[in-house]
Every structure is written in C-alpha cells, then in structure tokens.
Amino acid sequence: MQCNECKTELGNQIDNEHLFACCGLTLQEYALRHHLPLDLLLNADQVNQKDNVASYLKPTKSFNQQVQDVLAGLYMADAIQQQGEFYCITLGIRRLEQLLWYQKVLHALGFQFKQEYFYENDSHRVVAKNFLKVPSVFLPPRIVNSSGSSFLQQIAVLIAHIGELHAGYLFVDFPKIEDAQRVGVELAKEYQIRLKPLAASEYTEGQLMRCETLEDTTRLVNLLSEYLQDIPNACERFFEQHEKATVVKELVFDSAHFITDHPDKCENLHGGRYAMNVKVKDHIDPLTGFVLDYGYLKRIAKEKIVNELDHHNLNYVAAELSWRSSTELLNIFIWEKLIEYLPGLTELQIYETSQSHCTYKGPSLDEMQKKGQSALLRYFVSDELGKSQLRNILSQSSQRRLKAIG
C-alpha cells in the first residue's frame, strides 16, 4: 500500500503513527481527504480493539484552575460519559482540533487521545470515533465554582461544546435544568445578560435556553470572546460568517374548521388535510454542515404545531382562530408560535388543497419582540374589546327590553 501523502510504500497497512509523522493527519482524516472507505485501509486487528486501563499512567502532579474550569464546563455539557472502565469525551472528526485542545488542558488528569475503529452492523461498514479517555478512578469529582473568571471559562467551554447560533441568537440545550437555572441567574445578576427558557429540550431533565435578544447574544459572545477565541473550531462558529442556505420541512395535519359569517359553504363545518412547508434561512454552520438539524426542525414543528392542530377543530384551538381560521390567519398564528424556536424562519406555506395555498413571510423575532403579536390575531382577545362608547347602545337596548317586559 502506498501513502497518498508522501508516496512511501508501506506494505499492506497504513496507520496513525506513519500519518502523524508524514502529514499530521489521523487515519480518518486521511480517508476523508482521499475519499476512501476505512474498510480498505484497516486490517482486522485494528478494528473493534479493546482499550487497556493498564496502559494509562495515573498523574502524580496537581492540576491548575484552568483544568478544573474546563472539566466543569464539560460536565455541564454532559460531555463526560462513562463507558465501561473509562470516562470518555468525544467529538466528530470536523471538531478534532477542539478535542485536541481539551487534551492539551486535561492531560494533567491522565486523559489520552484515541481514534478507535468499529464495525457497525447497521451501516455495514467500519467507522471511526475520536475520544479523550481516562480510567474512571483517575477523574476527580465535579466541582461547581461560580466565581468571576472561573465562571466565564466554564461557560465558554459549555457554549463551545453545545452552543449553537441561529439567526444571531445563541441557543444552549442544558442537559440539567439546575445548571440552566444557575447559569441564567448568574448571567442576569452579574452581567445583565438574559436567557429565555424554551420548552424544547432534547433531555428528559434538561432545559433549552436562548439568549432573549440579539443584544444579549452579542454581549455574551463579547464577554466570552477571550476564552472562545482560544478554543479551536469555536472561532469558526461564533466569529466567522459563512454562506447562507434555506432548508424546508414539509409536515401535514388533518383538521376541521368553519368560517364564521361566510356566505358560502365554508360556513359549514368541514375538514381536510393541510400540508405545511416550514422554511428556515441562515448561515451554514461550519462544524455541522447544516443550517440547522432537520431533526430539530421537525421536532419543533411537530410539538408546537402539528400535535396542537392535528385532528382538532381549528376554531376551538385558540381564540386567535375562533372567528377566522383561514390559511392567511393560520399562517400568522403558526409563525408566532415557531419564531421563538426558529429565529431563522423565513417563509411559511400552507396548502389547504392541491390547488389552494397561502404563502406568508412574517416579522423576524427581533421585530416581534419590539412590536408584539399581529393586530390581525388580537381583535377578539384584546382587553379593549367591549369598552367603546358604542357598547352603551347594547346596555340601553337591554334596559328598554326589561321595561317593556315589566
């Protein structure tokens, strides 16, 4: 086998030792650069190998504050997972530099970098996974420290690991709600930065948090910039601009409705299948290759919209739709539900039939926060309804009827 980097003949096997010396690549990066399956590069004895605890040396030196802070941030991100006799931190190959930065800091605890290869039955191929690993007995217990620079370093690691930008808003899905609450209180109290809890966490005991405004995101990123710029890959996500794209998810729901005060058949209760196209436009995330994960887009649209409308009478779902459940007002109603979770939302399309559909492009989240809910939806829920002087006519008419009856 010939190395495609240095053209050296290597016999029947290429390994990480040669590649590190030759070009600094890992075997997985080499396979991606030369678009080769790992199956062709690895021998059987390199796949599904069991790691040996005895090959790890327990550290004898004490570790500094940065080690504690990085560890604390990774604990908050739920990035340290036990696998057998080891604790492991893993990231995808596109974020290898970030993983190696963790290794540079955490080697004092005995962590070692490992790229391991497994045959996956479901995908019928060999895959690579990148780990930092340490024997479970080496790792100190979690320490929560909310003081000054330690807190900022911890939050920077947390955000670098699981934070995402959507249309300029920072989202962090905290695996533990108590961490979300603690961080939210500390940021508000010490730095006047507000986080908004959203009911959309992927974790059973978690809490999805979003910077409440664009200004809050800017202030938080600026506050942490010294720490984030030190972490490879995080710089690409938070300080660089990349190409934009629009992603679309189609969902369907079956609903009944009627149109109040309509002179035609639509005044009668009738039902049908609605097809909804949700379009989100944003910068492509360089670390995922996505505008946002289709799984998240589908989950939000299904939880917040489809589950609420499917097999229901639209007129009785919400007061905003009780008078007119037209596709026009339905689009506005749905937009205002989704924009909190999808600030990159750029267009909604709702098909009531294959021949009839409505397209809506609503306000940005920033505009909605400043102007509030659409006036078109507020009429029957407004506190002003029933308070005009003309309502005195109703009162006088009622009194006249009572006198006539008397």
Active site residues: 266, 311, 352
Residues 6+ apart with CB under 8 A from 217: 165, 168, 169, 170, 211
- Give the integer Cα–Cα distance in Å for 163 and 182: 17
Q: Tokens 């986080």 belong to which residue?
A: 195
H-helix segments, 199-269: 214-228, 234-239
User: Which residues, listed in sequence order, are joined to residue 120 by a DSSP beta bridge?
Assistant: 125
Longest Cα–Cα distance of the chain, Å, equals 112
* Residue given tokens 């887009």 in the structure block: 297
Distance of CA 157 to the CA centre of its chain: 16
The residues facing 174 across adjacent strands are 207
| Interatomic CA distance for residues 394 and 401, integer angstroms | 11
Please answer whether residues 203 and 175 qualify as being in contact, where contact means their C-beta atoms are separated by less than 8 angstroms: yes
What is the number of helices (H) and of strands (E) in the chain?
16, 13
- Long-range (24+ apart) CB contacts under 8 A made by 143-148 are 143/68, 143/71, 143/72, 144/72, 144/182, 145/68, 145/69, 145/72, 146/182, 146/186
Match 């533990």 to its residue by tokens: 176
**Cα dihedral 179→181→184→188 (10° resolution):** -140
CA-wise closest residue to 26 among 91, 120, 93? 93
